[in-house]
């Protein structure tokens, strides 16, 4: 298991060369604060197009744009939360009282401590809001920073799904999970998300 203290300020994924800063440089980026976290709501098709364009521009392994658009606009088993202008955290395949899949997208691809705190608060709220005994996360095996991020917020690696990530060619998917009673932090809830 990785230790956050042993990480350098810049983490480079061997698979795609992405830079992921663990802590923001003063004055260089915005940080996530509780006031920034709110349910994602759309006032127009333009806003949907803007989110989709940001998603499409992300140079990381992710679901297809069409699947993302379906979750964003038509699927009733999805829950989207925006973290200000920094990105979105969303649950898909939500089955109340059973499970949901966690997805995290920060547009600048930074995974700093404030963003870990934001995701922790969203996960805590989701556990209670949807009465979930567990939350699952799937990560492509080619991603180095995301497994570390998930471990740092309390997820446990549960296994590998061989050729479980849709890609050309298919790659393995690493399965992470967190049980309700395994949450390693106090339960700060976000009233704005209830």
Cα-based distances in Å from 32 to 23, 35, 86 = 12, 8, 7
Which residue has better confidence, 39 or 13? 39
Residue 171, in any domain of the structure: yes
Q: What percent of the chain has pLDDT over 90?
A: 61
User: In terms of pLDDT, which residue wins out, 60 or 29?
Assistant: 60
**Residue 30 domain-assigned (yes or no):** no
Asked if residue 21 is part of any domain, the answer here is no
Residue 20 has pLDDT above 60, yes or no: no
Question: Mean pLDDT lowest for which of 4-13, 68-77, 98-107, 163-172?
Answer: 4-13
In a domain, 159, yes or no: yes
191 phi and psi angles, rounded to 5 deg: -55, -30
Between these two residues, 101 and 9, which has the higher pLDDT value? Answer: 101
> What are the pLDDT digits (tens) for 118-147?
999 999 999 999 999 999 999 999 888 999
Please report whether residue 181 resides in a domain.
yes
Domain span including residue 160: 40-193
In a domain, 165, yes or no: yes
Q: What one-character DSSP code corresponds to residue 23?
A: S
The CATH number covering residue 167 comes to 3.40.630.30
DSSP 40-58: ---SSHHHHHHHHHHHHH-
Which class for 10: exposed (0-12), middle (13-18), buried (19 or more C-beta within 10 A)? exposed
Split into its structural domains, the chain has a count of: 1
Residue 29 lies inside a defined structural domain of this protein:
no
Residue 30: per-residue pLDDT: 65
Distance, in Å, from the CA atom of 163 to the CA atom of 161, rounded to the nearest integer, reads 6
In a domain, 16, yes or no: no
Mean pLDDT of 153-181: 92
Concatenate the DSSP letters of all residues of 140-170 into one string.
ETT-SHHHHHHHHTT-EEEEEEEEEE--SS-
Helix 113-129 vs helix 145-152: crossing angle, to nearest 10: 60
pLDDT of 183: 80
């Amino acid at each position: 298991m990785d230790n956050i203290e042993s990480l350098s300020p810049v983490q480079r994924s061997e698979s795609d060369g992405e830079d992921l800063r663990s802590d923001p440089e003063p004055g260089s980026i915005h940080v996530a604060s509780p006031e920034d976290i709110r349910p994602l709501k759309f006032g127009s098709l333009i806003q949907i197009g803007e989110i989709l364009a940001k998603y499409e521009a992300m140079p990381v392994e992710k679901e297809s744009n069409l699947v993302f658009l379906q979750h964003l606009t038509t699927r009733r088993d999805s829950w989207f939360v925006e973290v200000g202008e920094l990105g979105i955290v969303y649950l898909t395949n939500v089955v109340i009282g059973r499970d949901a899949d966690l997805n995290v997208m920060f547009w600048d691809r930074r995974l700093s401590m404030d963003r870990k705190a934001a995701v922790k608060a969203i996960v805590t709220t989701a556990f209670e809001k949807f009465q979930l005994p567990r939350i699952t996360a799937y990560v492509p095996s080619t991603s180095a920073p995301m497994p570390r991020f998930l471990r740092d917020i309390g997820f446990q690696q549960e296994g590998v799904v061989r050729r479980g990530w849709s890609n050309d060619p298919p790659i393995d998917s690493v399965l992470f999970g967190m049980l309700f009673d395994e949450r390693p932090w106090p339960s700060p809830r976000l009233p704005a998300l209830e």
